Structure 1
Amino acid sequence: MVRDTGKGNDRAAVRCLPYGVHSYRRDLELLRDRRFALLFTARTVSVLGSAFAPVALAFGVLELAGANATTLSVVLVAQSVPQVVFMLAGGVLADRFPRYRVMIAGEVLCAAAYTVLAAMLVTGWAPLPGLVVAAALSGIGVALFFPALVGIVPEVVAAERLQSANGLLRLGTNSARIAGYALAGGTVVLVGAGPALAVSAAMFAGSALLIAALRLPPRVRSATGPATTPLTDLRDGWREFVSRQWLWVIVLQFAFLVMALQAAHGVLGPVVAKEDLGGAAAWSAVLAGEAVGMLVGVVIAIRIRPRRPMLVAVVLTLPTALPYLLLGAYAPLWTVVFGAVVMGICFDIFGVLWETSLQREVPPDVLSRVSSYDALGSLMFGPIGLLVAGPAAAVFGARPTLIACGGLIVLATLAALCSPGVRNMRLTEPVPAGTRPDDPGPVVEPVPKVVAPGT
């Protein structure tokens, strides 16, 4: 949020222009920038491939001779565990090497993994160890890609336009995700799971080619950067991560929130929908409501400029418990769908504010490592939610367990709001590109962080 600097009206007017002009047309003009357009297109195509992959992989594995739900679980675990384990390594690599090249490596690895999976499903020769190895490679590819993606946005757009850029990126990814979910099932039915996975692999390869066209100039590292070891890099990233109270508190909040979401969204919600709401069609309506909310949330998030972004972002995670509480309370389906719309809106506003705050407040040379700690911490309890959901539903019932998940979301959020760092955090003021006589180019020189009281 831009604040009056007291340095004269002309200077303040120049600094306030990007935030003061509330125009969606101006936001969309970012797509006319070649590099941002390439990043936007690459990310959208990649997410479209990611949306195809889970549906095709699930149905393809289940159709194999002798395969069952346990087989699918083994393959999915083999994919998710390396994604978490290698996330820190991805952060180190993205801070040491050109981020767009690390992103290319991640996309190429995903393309290769899904090509192998497609070949195994098409030929019918799909031993479980082979499926596990290929799935693990795709998980490593994601671990390489994600930290580099968070760090590359400030290299492509100026600091005062980061929120608009993050919003547009999410608009593209949400649209691609909706289209992918809608098209994946029909593609599997028409051509089979193997060819559908081949389409997914082609999209990852196309994304890699688009990212390669970015050709960003090399980042300037500190004099001691090249001499450090990976362990030193991890330690430095951890120091930056824990030095900001708002950052680690919200990541800890999301560790519990994601655990509840995994249990409720992955297991308990579908169980209740199958038993009492009419089956898959009812749960699809809930997911569609969430998707619509995500699109609306992005449109809102592009324009809002709260003075205390993390306070607003964390407060907005409270309503995300709504669909689970409604499901648990025997509410009509239409109210649950409405709750899912609200959840989608809140999550996407949170996401844009969070990403913008990371990119504005964390020094560029450690941004990918900090984002990898963010991802690792946020996801670390997710598998526990999946493991506990089934037994808890068997003992207590699915609806009471859903209410417990909603309660956990509320409690974790209220605990995060007790942090002074979360309540008082304010963004440092960006210096617009081209307003400094020594400005070397379109990427804005980072402004030193102003630490808010309590952080």
Structure 2
Amino acid sequence: MTATVIGTAPAGTDRPAHRDGNVLRWLGAYTSSMIGDNVYYLALSWAAVQAGTPSQAGLVMAVSAVPRALLMLGGGVVADRFGPRKVVIGSDAVRCAAVLAVAALLFAAGPGLWLLALLAVVFGTVDAVFMPAVGALPARVTGHGQLARVQGMRGLAIRFANVVGAPLGGLAVALGGSAAAFGLAGMLIAVSVPLLISVRMRELPADDKAAERTAWRDLRDGLGYIRRHRVLAPLIAAIALGDFGFVGPLNVGLTLLADQRGWGAAGMGWAVAGFGTGAGAAALLLTVRGHLPHAGRVAGVAILGGSVAIGALAYAPSVAAAVGVALLVGLLAGLSGALCGALLQTHADPAYLGRVTAVAGLASLGLAPLSMPVAAAAIGWWGTGPVFVTSAAVCGLGGVLALCVRDLRRAELPR
């Protein structure tokens, strides 16, 4: 289906994203796909635990990260060459078919680790092209002046999917086992396809020389474009530093902290809920406001403030204090993440946006998770306090970079 061409809206005259049916269709597709992802991961982990040992289950859960990390840069090239909407529709169709096929096989026979591992590899491979394309879509479905609001709406969709997805997956497992949960995940992902087909997109001018260039040349051109850009290069570096300092403490580190302090699973759950509430509040703020002045400066300050809160989390004297600090971490991290995402999309040439998103996603989703086993081992050697403070310092470097690089510090979002 050919996408409809939409002219660029003049600054200040864009239809508010929360009242734009085109944006809302995209948001509905994205939300349904994200809920399906949450159900899928719960179904995969449950099925893997039932089929093998805990270590084997962990391997099945981790195997999808390998193709995602290796292929994501190439996925950005694919998104730019073929258009992000076509890539997202194709990716969701493949993911849906793969999950439903496994659901059908599990209905017929017991789960096998080889089948689950194969599904994880397929999912990770498709994610490598899906994620850059998803990141490139917002700038093509709305005007630049609405991108901060769209990032807020996207953040709310992610929080909603996280809250709803796991209980839905658990209910499906309880009623019909892993096969039912996989079937539900596939149907939720399938819902996104017709919605995406109905989304109108702003098309770029035709590139007559695209067929003459190799994918390797496109990748090199994209990396060179980022390296030369006065805002994007330091922005991606700031995002990477922030994620490297954030992922370890707020995932495995929080679990170990709760165990050491005797807070138990309930205490850790309250802290996670505090973080989610803070991140949701930041997303709601951007959704309502639609624009924040001095975006580059505010993002840098938010990263710095969030890093201080991360360090303080290790010294929280009680569950209540930890929940309050986690709330602050979520608020500042959610604000800086949404602003960085909006700056990334508004300052990148749309023709390069898939590759720009891929590079940023590789740092956030491909490399930053590698800090989790490192953080766990370091906590075992030196304790939670030093590791949280070190992680906070790494995260804070991202804020320092954002505030010290003049072009990034002065970067603004269009109205």
TM-score normalised to the size of structure 1?
0.81
Whether 2:28 is the aligned partner of 1:45: answer no
Can you list the C-alpha shifts for 1:303-333, whole angstroms capped at 9, x where unaligned? 1634431221122122333554334214211
TM superposition shift of 1:269: 1.0
**1:139-158 paired onto structure 2 within 5 Å:** 139-158=124-143
For residues 327 and 290 of structure 2, the distance between their equivalents in structure 1, rounded to whole angstroms, comes to: 19
Contact 2:244 2:394 in 1 (8 A): no
Aligned counterpart for 1:74 among listed residues 35, 46, 59: 59
Report what 1:335 is aligned to.
321
Counterpart mapping for 1:409-424 below 5 A: 409-424=395-410
Alignment match, 2:358 = 372
Distance 1:236 1:46 in 2: 31
> Would you say the 8 A contact 1:301–1:348 is kept in 2?
no
Give the match for residue 344 of structure 1.
330
Change (3 A) 1:398 1:189: farther
**Partner SS, residue 63 of structure 1:** helix
Match of 1:363 in 2: 349
> Does residue 177 of the first structure (1) align with residue 162 of the second (2)?
yes
Q: 1:331 to 1:126 in 2, by over 3 A?
A: same
2-structure distance, mates of 1:176, 1:398: 30
Structure 1 window deviating more from structure 2 (121-130 vs 236-245): it is 121-130
- The answer to whether the 8 Å contact 2:240/2:398 transfers is no
Superposed CA deviations along residues 337-385 of structure 1, whole A, max 9, x for unmatched, are 1222222222332233223222222111111111111111334532431
Other structure's SS at 2:205 match: coil
d(CA) in 2 for partners of 1:426 and 1:82? 35
Letter of the 1:376 partner, please give it: L
**Cα distance in 2, alignment partners of residues 329 and 124 from structure 1:** 50
Tell me the secondary structure at the aligned position of residue 86 of structure 1. Answer: helix
Tell me what 2:19 maps to. 29
Q: In structure 1, the residue corresponding to 2:137 is in which secondary structure?
A: helix
The structure-2 alpha-carbon separation of the partners of 1:250 and 1:400, relative to structure 1 and needing over 3 Å to count, comes to: same
User: How many residues are treated as equivalent by the alignment?
Assistant: 405
* % identical aligned pairs: 24
- Pair 1:323–1:273, CA change in 2 (3 A): farther
Q: Which amino acid aligns with 1:230?
A: A
In the TM superposition, residue 419 of structure 1 has moved relative to its aligned partner by: 2.0
**1:381 match: secondary structure:** helix
1:316 maps to which residue?
302
Tell me the residue number matched to 1:163.
Answer: 148
Contiguous gaps of at least 5 residues in structure 1: 1-13, 20-25, 431-455
Match of 1:131 among 116, 119, 140: 116
Instruction: Note closer, same or farther for the CA distance 1:153–1:324 as it changes in structure 2 (3 Å cut).
Output: closer
Cα distance, 1:53–1:89 mapped onto 2, change above 3 Å = same
Q: Structure 1 50/214 Cα, relative in aligned 2: closer, same or farther at 3 Å?
A: same
User: Amino acid of the residue matched to residue 184 of structure 1?
Assistant: G
> How far does the alpha carbon of each residue in 1:223-273 deviate from its partner, in whole angstroms, 9 at most, with x for none?
323322111111121122112233222322333332333321221211222
Q: 1:326 aligns with which of 312, 319, 325?
A: 312
The residue that corresponds to 1:189 in the other structure is 174
| 2:283 is the alignment partner of 1:298 | yes
The alpha-carbon distance between structure 1 residues 307 and 252, as it changes in their structure 2 partners (threshold 3 A), is: same
Aligned to 1:287: 272
Mapped partners of 1:406, 1:272: distance in 2 = 15
Question: Which has more helix, going by share of residues?
Answer: 2
**Aligned equivalents of 2:213, 2:147: Cα separation in 1:** 30
Q: Are 1:60 and 2:47 counterparts?
A: yes
Taking a change above 3 Å as real, the CA distance of residues 378 and 276 of structure 1, as seen in their structure-2 partners, is same
Q: Which runs of 5+ in 2 are unaligned?
A: 1-9
Q: TM-score, normalised by structure 2?
A: 0.88
Q: Which has the higher contact order (CA 8 A, sep 6+)?
A: 2
Letter in 1 for 2:23: F
- What's the CA shift for 1:137? 0.9
**Larger-Rg structure:** 1
Displacement of 1:46: 0.7
